[in-house]
């Protein structure tokens, strides 16, 4: 028998749950794109977009997903043959590197594996080795959604400064903006990339690139920038159409307005805190489950190296797939698949899953998902240690 009827919970790391308020804001016909309400409403987005990223710098918006955001950043940062240093701690860092390479950038990847954080000594050494300063920018994820590893951005900035290297710092915050603490200006980030369908709680379709004045000046002649991708006209548009180099993503913009209102009402420090506490509840549950079954293990050992929006974990093949199927069909909770984490003995990722706690998510959703996971383990006879739900409840109770 299934107990899945009722409101389903999509607990995958993007797209995330869309708030009813955002859906309702989008439920409207096409507005006039030449004058009137849309134009004024869009003007109100810029201060809030800067607020979520913690910057007074420039913002360019694109119709696109996170992959589009990467290419937008690449196109403006680099000319053909320029060099990029990319930090990889999972699938997403690697994919950003691949996109830059495919566009003609000379890419050096520092690969730290998929379970350990980036080693800043290696980053510093790589930058010191580049005595001719050929590296134009360092690219990194803040949270790699596949591995759930968080890169410590202030420490990365410090390593770049210690090396005395002038490279720009570009950060993919697609999985972390609106979830994990991020302060673009304070942390010395030059370029930030995000998309709307994760912490920003809006259906997939908008990508954002924030860039500092320094990045604007240093990248002014980048020859990869085509009319569509060039960030300058978007950030300094004189005509409304220039913001998108064509038709505006009208309906999405109303959704984004509402989502930004929600973040504004809650306040960024509280938004980050909520994610931190809910992540802590998930980790407490995993610690208890793992204690009774060593095949269950979070991918990242040190909590300080884990993102606050998603937790990646091993379950031992084929149990991850069995558990995901059970949670979805029997209890209405959809968990994330493993992505790029499979050992060669498990090509179908049957031993790995991800639990999202990203965006429009609260204690009842997270505790509910954990309860469902444990019910699934019990029903499927996957061994697990006791006390997980009590530990998660304690984490929530202590914080709230
Ligand atoms: C989701 C994600 C992407 C890719 O975004 P798409 O919208 O799927 O193109 C890139 N980087 C990170 C860190 C992500 O979480």
**pLDDT tens by residue, 9-52:** 999 999 999 999 999 999 999 999 999 999 999 999 999 999 99
Which residues, other chains included, contact 265 with Cβ-Cβ below 8 Å and sequence gap of 6+? Answer: none
CA of 65 to the centre of ligand 1 (A): 7
Where does the pLDDT of residue 340 fall: very low under 50, low under 70, confident under 90, or very high at 90 and above? confident
Where does the pLDDT of residue 255 fall: very low under 50, low under 70, confident under 90, or very high at 90 and above? very high
Please report the beta strands in the chain, taking only residues with DSSP state E, as ranges in sequence order. Answer: 9-11, 58-63, 83-88, 106-111, 135-141, 143-144, 149-150, 168-172, 191-195, 206-211, 297-298, 310-314, 333-337, 352-356
pLDDT at 345: 73
CA of 330 to the centre of ligand 1 (A): 29
> Within the chain, which residue ranges are assigned CATH 3.90.1150.10?
268-399
Are 196 and 252 spatial neighbours (Cβ–Cβ below 8 Å)?
A: yes
**Residue-wise DSSP of 107-136:** EEEEE--SSS---HHHHHHHHHH-TT--EE
- Whole-number average pLDDT of the chain: 97
Q: Is the CB of 55 under 6 A from ligand 1?
A: no
Q: Whose CA is nearest to atom 12 of ligand 1?
A: 174
Q: Average pLDDT for residues 144-151, to the nearest whole number? A: 97
Which CATH architecture best describes the domain 268-399? Answer: Alpha-Beta Complex (3.90)
Q: Whose CA is nearest to atom 5 of ligand 1?
A: 66
pLDDT at 365: 98
Q: Whose CA is nearest to atom 4 of ligand 1?
A: 66
- Measured distance CA(2)–CA(332) in Å, rounded: 9
CATH topology of domain 20-265: 3.40.640
Where does the pLDDT of residue 347 fall: very low under 50, low under 70, confident under 90, or very high at 90 and above? confident
Q: Which of 65, 91, 195, 312 to mutate to test the pocket of ligand 1 (most atoms within 8 A of CB)?
A: 195
Q: Which of 94, 174, 340 to mutate to test the pocket of ligand 1 (most atoms within 8 A of CB)?
A: 174
CA of 288 to the centre of ligand 1 (A): 30
Percent of the chain predicted with pLDDT > 90: 96
Is residue 346 scored above 90 in pLDDT? no
Is residue 233 scored above 90 in pLDDT? yes
Kindly give the pairing relationship between strand 352-356 and strand 333-337: antiparallel
pLDDT at 187: 98
> Within the chain, which residue ranges are assigned CATH 3.40.640.10?
20-265
pLDDT at 127: 98
Where does the pLDDT of residue 349 fall: very low under 50, low under 70, confident under 90, or very high at 90 and above? confident
CA of 66 to the centre of ligand 1 (A): 5
CA of 379 to the centre of ligand 1 (A): 33
Q: Is the CB of 176 under 6 A from ligand 1?
A: no
User: Using N-to-C axis directions, what is the helix angle for 268-292 and 250-266, rounded to 10°?
Assistant: 80
Q: Whose CA is nearest to atom 10 of ligand 1?
A: 66
Where does the pLDDT of residue 94 fall: very low under 50, low under 70, confident under 90, or very high at 90 and above? very high
Q: Average pLDDT for residues 130-157, to the nearest whole number? A: 98
- Measured distance CA(306)–CA(147) in Å, rounded: 9
């Amino acid at each position: 028998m299934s107990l899945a009827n009722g409101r389903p919970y999509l607990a995958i790391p993007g797209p995330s749950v869309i708030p009813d308020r955002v859906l309702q804001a989008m439920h409207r016909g096409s507005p006039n794109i030449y004058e009137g309400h849309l134009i004024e409403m869009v003007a109100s987005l810029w201060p809030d977009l800067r607020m979520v990223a913690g910057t007074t710098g420039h913002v360019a918006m694109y119709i696109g997903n996170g992959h589009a955001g990467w290419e937008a950043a690449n196109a403006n940062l680099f000319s053909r043959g320029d060099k990029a240093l990319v930090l990889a701690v999972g699938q997403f860092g690697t994919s950003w590197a691949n996109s830059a390479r495919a566009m003609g950038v000379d890419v050096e990847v520092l690969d730290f594996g998929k379970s350990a954080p980036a080693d800043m000594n290696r980053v510093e050494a790589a930058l010191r080795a580049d005595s001719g300063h050929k590296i134009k920018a360092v690219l990194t994820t803040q949270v790699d959604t596949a591995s759930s590893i968080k890169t410590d951005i202030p420490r990365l900035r410090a390593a770049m400064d210690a090396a005395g290297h002038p490279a720009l710092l570009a950060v993919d915050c697609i999985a972390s903006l609106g979830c994990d603490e991020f302060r673009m200006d304070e942390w010395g980030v030059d370029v930030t990339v995000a998309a709307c369908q994760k912490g920003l709680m809006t259906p997939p379709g908008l990508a954002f690139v924030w860039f500092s004045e320094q990045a604007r000046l240093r990248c002014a002649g980048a020859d990869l920038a085509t009319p569509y991708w060039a960030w300058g006209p978007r950030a300094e548009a004189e005509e409304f159409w220039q913001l998108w180099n064509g038709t505006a993503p009208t309906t999405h913009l109303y959704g984004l307005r509402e989502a930004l209102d929600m973040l504004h009402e809650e306040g960024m420090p509280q938004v980050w805190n909520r994610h931190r506490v809910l992540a802590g509840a998930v980790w407490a549950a995993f610690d208890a489950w793992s204690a009774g079954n060593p095949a269950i293990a979070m991918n990242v050992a040190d909590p300080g190296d884990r993102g606050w929006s998603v937790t990646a974990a091993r379950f031992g093949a084929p149990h991850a797939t069995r558990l995901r199927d059970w949670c979805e069909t029997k209890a209405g909770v959809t968990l994330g698949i493993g992505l790029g984490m499979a050992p060669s003995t498990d090509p179908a990722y049957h031993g790995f899953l991800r639990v999202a706690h990203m965006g429009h998510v609260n204690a009842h959703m997270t505790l509910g998902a954990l309860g469902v996971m444990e019910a699934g383990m019990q029903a499927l006879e996957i061994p697990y240690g006791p006390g997980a739900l009590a530990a998660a409840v304690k984490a929530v109770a202590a914080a709230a």
